[in-house]
């Protein structure tokens, strides 16, 4: 990773990433791992709303979400289907809890590529509620979700049925909100911990080619542990998995929206500490790769045969990563799947070579 002291790059994300269809090979993979299940409602069904109002936050700022409403004769059927989706996602389709569930809100976001619906489900017995999202099924986003499930510290729950993708809600404080309102209040120890997590998050995104991790595309998750708070960083947007050609788009440190985090790392750590945390993250990634060995291989095989980006992006990215690694295998890549497989193999081989040196 380039030194955190370097200034932000002028990164431009493709304004409209196309949605890529699910190949038969990926469809079979999803079925094998119980991701592909028949659902009672499609994304397109929710587009038939008859009215909407703007959703504002507690400070009266536009959230870019609108709350949608349906005709009376459709609303009951739609809400029942959404409750069934919730049971499939969280309790393997056991419908005994449906009488105790309420659909409190259906929100729609026109901002971004996926144009998701956000569903708020409440348990009427105890007023606990949760969210899930309904989106159009995009192959690159599905690869991103699966890679996050296997290569990050966090498991992800999602379902796919034809052109519809269901994602569980990832709880946390949006990164932009945390940087603005919470980070200045953190003490020295907490800031050091957050800086460490950002270094690791940056390394993880770069290696697995997850792009566009601007501050509003990840969340900070605080967890109380005895006498202190532990902070973790989680990605929440997987639209830019292995799509862009610019290598720095896969490195959160280069987005101006993350400047405060980059400054925090530079002010907190010397180069030696940054390298230490990068090595730690790489070691953990190698262990996860070995743990999910067969499943990762199957996913990469699907990805290698799939089209999830433009040829010019593939050519640019493999050239940039070759400049970074000097590994000629990247130059032979023909798809984004080939590039990612080379990246993961490069990581594993370097890790094994370092370990062998220790015993010589």
| Contact criterion met (CB below 8 Å) for 241 and 147 | yes
Identify the CA nearest to 71 among candidates 54, 53, 52, 49.
49
Going along the chain from its start, the domains and CATH numbers come out as: 24-168 (no CATH), 173-358 (1.10.1070)
The Cα–Cα gap between 38 and 131 comes to: 20
Which residues, 6+ apart, have CB-to-CB distance to 136 below 8 Å?
A: 19, 43, 114, 115, 163, 164, 165
Cα dihedral 13, 15, 17, 18 in deg (nearest 10)? -160
Helix (H, G, I), strand (E, B) or coil at 158: strand
The Cα–Cα gap between 182 and 258 comes to: 14
CA angle, 260 then 263 then 265, to 5°: 110
Per-residue pLDDT of the chain (360 residues; tens, 9 = 90+): 445 655 556 566 766 789 999 999 999 999 999 999 999 999 999 999 999 999 998 888 888 899 999 998 899 999 999 999 999 999 888 888 999 999 999 999 987 778 899 999 999 999 999 999 999 999 999 999 999 999 999 999 999 999 999 999 999 999 999 999 999 999 999 999 999 999 999 999 999 999 999 999 999 999 988 888 999 999 999 999 999 999 999 999 999 999 999 999 999 999 999 999 999 999 999 999 999 999 999 999 999 999 999 999 999 999 999 999 999 999 999 999 999 999 999 999 987 665 544 434
pTM, rounded to two decimals? 0.92
């Amino acid at each position: 990773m380039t030194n955190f002291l370097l200034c932000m790059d002028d990164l431009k994300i493709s304004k409209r990433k196309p949605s890529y269809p699910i190949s038969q090979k990926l469809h079979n993979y999803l079925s094998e791992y119980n991701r592909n299940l028949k659902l009672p409602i499609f994304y397109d069904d929710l587009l038939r709303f008859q009215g909407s109002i703007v959703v504002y936050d507690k400070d009266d700022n536009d959230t870019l979400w609108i709350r949608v409403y349906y005709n009376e004769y459709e609303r009951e059927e739609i809400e029942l289907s959404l409750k069934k989706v919730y049971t499939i996602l969280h309790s393997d389709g056991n419908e005994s809890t449906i009488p105790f569930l309420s659909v409190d809100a259906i929100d729609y976001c026109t901002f971004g590529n996926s144009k998701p619906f956000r569903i708020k489900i409440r348990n009427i017995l105890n007023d606990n509620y949760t969210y899930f999202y309904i989106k159009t099924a995009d192959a690159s986003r599905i690869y991103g979700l699966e890679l996050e499930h296997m290569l990050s510290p966090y498991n992800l729950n999602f379902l796919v049925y034809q052109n519809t993708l269901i994602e569980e809600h990832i709880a946390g404080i949006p990164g932009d909100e945390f940087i603005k309102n919470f980070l200045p209040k953190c003490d020295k120890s907490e800031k050091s911990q957050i800086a460490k997590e950002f270094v690791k998050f940056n390394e993880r995104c770069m290696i697995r080619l997850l792009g566009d991790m601007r501050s509003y595309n990840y969340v900070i998750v605080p967890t109380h542990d005895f006498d202190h708070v532990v902070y973790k960083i989680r990605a929440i947007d997987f639209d830019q998995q292995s799509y862009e050609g610019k290598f720095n788009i896969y490195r959160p440190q280069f987005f101006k929206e993350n400047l405060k985090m980059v400054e925090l790392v530079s002010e907190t750590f010397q180069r030696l500490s940054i390298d230490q945390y990068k090595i730690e993250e790489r070691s953990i990634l190698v262990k996860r790769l070995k743990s999910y060995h067969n499943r990762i291989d199957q996913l990469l095989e699907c990805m290698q045969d799939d089209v999830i980006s433009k040829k010019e992006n593939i050519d640019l990215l493999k050239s940039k990563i070759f400049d970074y690694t000097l590994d000629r295998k990247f130059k032979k890549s023909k798809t984004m799947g080939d590039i990612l497989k080379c990246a993961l193999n490069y990581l594993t081989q370097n890790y094994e070579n370092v370990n062998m040196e220790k015993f010589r």
